[in-house]
Structure 1
Amino acid sequence: MRETSLATMNCSIARTVEIVGDRWTLMIVRSLFAFKGLHRFDELRTELGIAKNILSDRLGLLREHGIVEQRRYSDRPPRYEYHLTTAGRDLLPVILALLSWGDAHLMSEPPVILLHTECDHDTVPYLACSHCHEPIAPRAIVGRDTPSPQ
């Protein structure tokens, strides 16, 4: 039986999951953020314990979707670093949400403490309303369809 592609669904979550929804892709993205700061293929491979072919495949997928870009750092032999694009950096709330959920539900003590470099204080990210800045509770948010273009 053929698996249904999420890429054609009229759902932002489904389309995003189609790209970053497997465990290795999100772990690569996590490792490319500044709090890990890894950029080279071998660094990523060592950090994650991932097979070369899987890492190569996932980096290709991330490049194809404009989440990661390659930057050459050596000509002989040709070697590249991988850096998050704006689209990749925009995945930070996803990574932080997974971190927060894991800390709350899977760990007795958080293995990482985040430092907000702008104010030099430890921080715990939370989701807040863009209008009133109050934290968003699961029961305090609903979705509604966008109006159809006339």
Structure 2
Amino acid sequence: MKPLKQRSTCPVSTSLDVLGDRWTLLILRDMVFAGKSTYGQFLQSAEKIATNVLADRLAVLEAQGLLTKAVAADKKSKFTYRLTEKGVDTIPIIIELVLWGAAHCPTVTDTGLLAELQTGKDAAVEKYKQLAREKALT
């Protein structure tokens, strides 16, 4: 894995250096809202990420401290991924992107999550943060 090259000291730019490719936030989304935690589960996402890209993005997320990787309890050749506290801190960002996409992209169809966010965004943020923290302990 190549190290991330920081383009500038601007907070937006440095955040995009970590989160700004087309796959990273989708992996984090799947961890938060779909409970995915293994390589095979990530491959099943509707967006069809290539295996080499997935491996690279997981390695970058681990190297940047957003997730941890551990040997799975059920199979020694399988790994599980869990969000770190730094990864948990991306949940409000992802939720804001969900809301923005729902407001500005007419093809959005995830009405269950949208309904939850529209009835109480702050409560939903805390709920998903807590769920991610609990999953990290298992």
Whether the TM-score (by the shorter chain) exceeds 0.5 is yes
**Normalization by structure 2: what TM-score?**
0.74
Unaligned runs of 5+ in 1: 116-120, 127-150
The answer as to 2:25 corresponding to 1:26 is: yes
TM-score by length of 1: 0.68
Once the two structures are superposed, residues 54-106 of structure 1 have per-residue CA deviations (whole angstroms, 9 ceiling, x without a partner) of 00000000000000101211475421111111000100111011100110011
* AA partner of residue 36 (structure 2): L
Q: Identify the structure with bigger relative contact order (alpha carbons < 8 Å, sequence gap 6+).
A: 2
**1:46 matched to 2:44:** yes
Q: CA RMSD in A?
A: 2.4
SS of the aligned residue for 2:116 comes to strand
Structure 2 counterpart SS, 1:50: coil
- What amino acid does structure 1 have at the position aligned with 2:58? L
Residues of 2 paired with 1:79 and 1:109: CA distance? 33
Structure 2 CA distance for aligned equivalents of residues 95 and 50 of structure 1? 19
Give ranges in structure 2 of 5+ residues lacking alignment. Answer: 123-138
> Is the CA contact 2:65–2:84 (under 8 Å) kept in the aligned structure 1?
yes
Q: Distance in 2 between matches of 1:38 and 1:92?
A: 15
In 2, Cα distance between equivalents of 1:122 and 1:76: 35
Larger Rg: 1
* Percentage of pairs with the same residue: 30
Q: How many residues align?
A: 116
C-alpha displacement of 1:107: 2.4
The answer to which structure has the higher helix fraction is: 2
Offset of residue 108 of structure 1: 5.7
* CA shift digits 1:100-143 (9 cap, x unpaired): 0110011266423238xxxxx933237xxxxxxxxxxxxxxxxx
- Are the aligned partners of 2:101 and 2:108 in contact in 1 as well (CA < 8 Å)? no
